[in-house]
Amino acid sequence: MRCKFSLLAAAAIAVSASPALAAPGDPIALSDSVSLKLLANARLRYELVDQVNQPDEAEALTFRLRAGTEIKAGDFSLLAEGEGTAEVTRRYNDTLPGNGIEPYPVVADPKNLELNRLQASYMHKGTGVTVGRQRIILDDARFVGNVGWRQNEQTFDAVRGQAKIGPVTLDATYSDSQRTVFGVHSPNEHFDGDLVLLNGGIKLPAAEAKAFAYLIDYDTRVASSSQTYGVLVTGGITIPAVGKLKVLASYARQSDYGANPVSYSADYINAQLGLGLFGFDLIGGYEQLGSDGGVAAFQTPLATLHAFNGWADMFLTTPAKGLRDYYATVGHKFAVPALPGLTANVTYHQFDSDVGGLDYGSEWDASLGSKLGPVGLLAKYANYQADGFAVDTEKFWLQAEVGF
C-alpha cells in the first residue's frame, strides 16, 4: 500500500492535539420539572483507499461535529441537533456529482451541514412515541440502522411508537423519508416513500427472541422496494471451566413490494457462535443473503452495512447471484495502563455466491482501539482480495472521537 506518511503524521498530530471536551455532568435544571442537556460529538478521521483499477489512492482527512440540546419536562422531551462535516483534504471521490475529483476511489464523507435530528418525544418507563427526524437502530442494525461509521449519520423522518410490557417489547415506525449519509448537496440526499418497520420481542432467562416485518415502498428507488419478514434469537450460557458461549441465529424471507418491477423471493440466514476463552473472544459465523436464481438478491437498504460482510464495503449492494459470507474473528483486550481498554480484533471472510458456485474473494480485517481520557482512538485496516467479484481493495483508517 502506497501510504502517504505526511498525511498520516498530520492526522496523528491532530489526534494528539485534539482538546478533550469536558463532560457537562448532570442535566442543567431550569426548574423543578424542566431540565436542559447539552449534546456534542466530534470525530476526526483519516481514511486511505487503494484500489487496483484506480490510478491514484484516495486520501480523506475529515472532521465531523454534532451539537444540540435536549429539553425534558417530566416524560416529555424536545431534541434538536445539527451536524457538519468538513473536508480537510480533497483527494477522494466524495460521491457528489460534478466536483471534479471522481477519478479517486470513493470515500462517502462529503462536505455537509444539515439538521441531523429534530424530534419530540413522550416516554414513560419504556413506553411512548417519538415524532420527527430521528435516529433509529433496530437490533444489531442488520436491517435498520444509522450508518454510524460514516461521518454523516442516517436518520429518518418518522413516527415511532415503543412499548415495554414486562419481558415483552414492541416497536412500530412509519417513515416517509430516509435521510442518507450522502448529505444535502447530493441527489441521493433522501429517499422518500412509505417505510413501515415493525419489531417485537420477548426476553427469556437465557435468550431473547425477536420477530420483525420491514415493508419498504420507495417513490423513486422502486427497484429497492421490498417486504421482509423474519426472526432473530440471541442468547448465552456459561460453560464451567471454559467460558461464556454466545449464540445468534436469524432467518428472514424477502420478496418484491410496491412498484418493484422485478418479481423475486430470497432467504436470509445468519448463524453465529461466540466464546470467551482464556481472555480471548472467538467468533465464527455464516451469513447468507440469498438469490432467486440469479434474477435478484436479498437487499438491506436501511442497514448499517459497514458492520457486515467486511470493512472494505465491497458488498453494500448484494450481487444478483447472492452472497455467502463465512467469517471468523479473534479478539483480545490488553491490560496496558497507558491505554485503558486497548482491544485488538482480527477477522477473516470468505465470500461466495449463493447460486452459480462463484468464489467472489476473501478479506482480512483488523482493528486496534483504546481511550485516552475521554478521547476514543481507533486504527482499522481492511484488505479485500478479489477472485470473481470487484477488484483488490485496501483501506486504512485513523480516528479520534469524543462526545457526550
The string of DSSP letters for 241-284 reads: TTEEEEEEEEEEEEEE-TT-SS--EEEEEEEEEEEEETTEEEEE
Whose CA is closest to 288, among 238, 256, 326, 261?
A: 326
Q: What is the DSSP letter of 19?
A: P
- What is the average per-residue pLDDT within 171-185? 97
CATH of the domain at 330: 2.40.160.10
**Mean pLDDT, the chain, as a whole number?**
92
Record the pTM.
0.91
pLDDT of 339 reads 87
Element (H, E) at 109: none
Confidence of residue 15 (pLDDT cuts 50, 70, 90): very low
344-383: pLDDT as tens digits: 999 999 999 999 999 999 999 999 999 998 999 999 999 9
Q: How many Cβ atoms are within 10 Å of 287's Cβ, its own excluded?
A: 19
Does pLDDT of 58 surpass 70? yes
| Residue-range definition of the domain harbouring residue 228 | 5-403
- Return the bridge partners of 121, or none: 77, 130
Domain count, the chain: 1
CA distance 91 to 4: 12
Q: Categorize the per-residue pLDDT at 8 as very low, low, confident or very high, splitting at 50, 70 and 90.
A: very low
- State how far the Cα of 98 lies from the Cα of 101, in Å rounded to an integer: 8
- Cβ atoms of residues 60 and 117 within 8 Å: no
